[in-house]
Amino acid sequence: MAASLKTTDLPPTVNADLIGGHFRSFRKDPTGFLTRLSRLGDVTTFRMGPRRSFFVNHPEFVRDIFTTSAHKFVKGRALQRAKTLLGNGLLTNEGEGHLRQRRMIQPAFHRARIAEYARWMVEFAESLSDGWRDGAVVDVDKEMMRLTLRIVAKTLFGANVTTEADEVGSAMTTLVEMFDYLLLPFSEWLEKLPLPHTRRLKKARGMLDRIIFNFINERRATGDDRGDLLSMLLAARDESDGGAMSDEQIRDEALTLFLAGHETTANALTWTWYLLSHNPDAEARLHEEVLSNGFRRPMTEQESREGGTPNSFGFDDIPKLRYTEAVVAESLRLFPPAWGIGRLSIDPHRFGTYEIPKGSLVLVSPFVTHRDERFWDEPESFKPERWFDLSIKEASQRFTYLPFGGGVRRCIGESFAWSETILVLATLARRWKLEMVPDQKIGLQPMITLRPKFGMKMKLIGG
């Protein structure tokens, strides 16, 4: 039970709903609600039903949560409930168990491994590019989901899921949607009942379990090292005791990486295409870069038949794609896939003049911090060139830029995600511009990641 606070001790807040504190306001528009709270101060409070919660919106307080006082916080209720979906993987594990798993998985994301994965990122992006047709209207959000699903399946499992992509993608989408359902009050009891939502969840989870355990069993039987993440997980040993992961641990880590590895990157790419379509100068500069520096467009089928020379991007080209990286960095600033990060206090803690009691939910929002005019010039504007004067590393160290979190729980796949997003964007942009269709509605759908609420239909314009 959380310790009580006197009303006079509480940080500022906005008016509560008639029932449930601020639960309905938060659920209706999470990013808008937190933005309103942020205008009241760096530490504010709100109630999700009976639970007193706190929103922290200053880099020094965020640094404290993620680094200095990280030992006083554990994952918030959202990710604790996510164990129902993801098991006890990196995203949900705590303490020594988390550190052990992270040590064992880290080699899978070393630079040499990511360089190997890069060729699959480019190959699948080129395959998608070849299938697009000038003037066609596509659901970009779905196209990016299918693409990143193929990439993560190949790099994680060494598998080609082209024929199963829609089925697997549907199951992954169900898990994302169910994550929101699991945050409802009393969901621990609801999921035990034979309700439609519960049946959908069990069906999707069961399908993904079968796929992943089949991959694990097949690989254990053959003993092959295919250079993918699954091979790394099977071969991983804890440096302290030499222990290996069980099949259940590998399943939990694989499912976590499977979800995080395609959901977040797909959303980042979708919002990037949206921003480029509304900023023609930035779009033109991006196209100029990907068609310069020796990067001519990919061959057409006719050029290939006539003996042309292939010219794909590769991992070593990433440092040359400075403006492309800046476009991605700015897109992640305005639309960070991880829009909110929660922690639960296991000890009392003080932020400035406010004492946060044990058992409190403390929320940080990269979406809000990234748009704070105290830390960003013209925060609502899409300005990739700002990243020529400010390094991504420096902004992250200041805790004003948090697309991958921070501290000991910073996203382990950050380098993978940067490489994939830059290479996919550059590969597709060599041949295509994407233009918003006139009737496309735009809205935010903050679930486990920041999705476009109404999808993203765009017209393909061949370059």
Residues with Cβ within 8 Å of 127's Cβ and at least 6 positions away in sequence, in order, are: none
Q: What is the distance between the terminal CA atoms of the chain, rounded to a whole angstrom?
A: 61
pLDDT tens figures, 276-301:
999 999 999 999 999 986 665 555 55
pLDDT tens figures, 418-439:
999 999 999 999 999 999 999 9
Torsion angle defined by CA atoms of residues 124, 126, 132 and 135, in that order, rounded to the nearest 10 degrees: 140
Q: What are the structural domains, with CATH classification, of the chain?
A: 7-462 (1.10.630.10)
pLDDT tens figures, 134-178:
999 999 999 999 999 889 888 888 877 666 666 777 777 777 777
- pLDDT value at residue 186: 59
Q: Which two tokens stand for residue 333?
A: 């600033």
CB 342 within 8 A of CB 366: no
Give the helix/strand (H/E) hosting 132.
none
User: Residue 190 pLDDT > 70, yes or no?
Assistant: no
Q: How confident is the model at residue 1 (pLDDT cuts 50, 70, 90)?
A: very low
> Of the given ranges (45-54, 169-178, 407-416), which has the lowest mean pLDDT?
169-178
Exposed/middle/buried for residue 261 (C-beta within 10 Å: 0-12, 13-18, 19+)? buried
Name the pTM for this structure: 0.89
- pLDDT value at residue 5: 47
pLDDT tens figures, 87-120:
777 777 777 777 888 888 888 888 998 999 999 9
pLDDT > 90 fraction of the chain, expressed in percent and rounded: 54
Average pLDDT, rounded, for the chain: 86
Backbone angles phi, psi at 461, to 5 degrees: -125, 110
Q: Which amino acid is at 246?
A: S
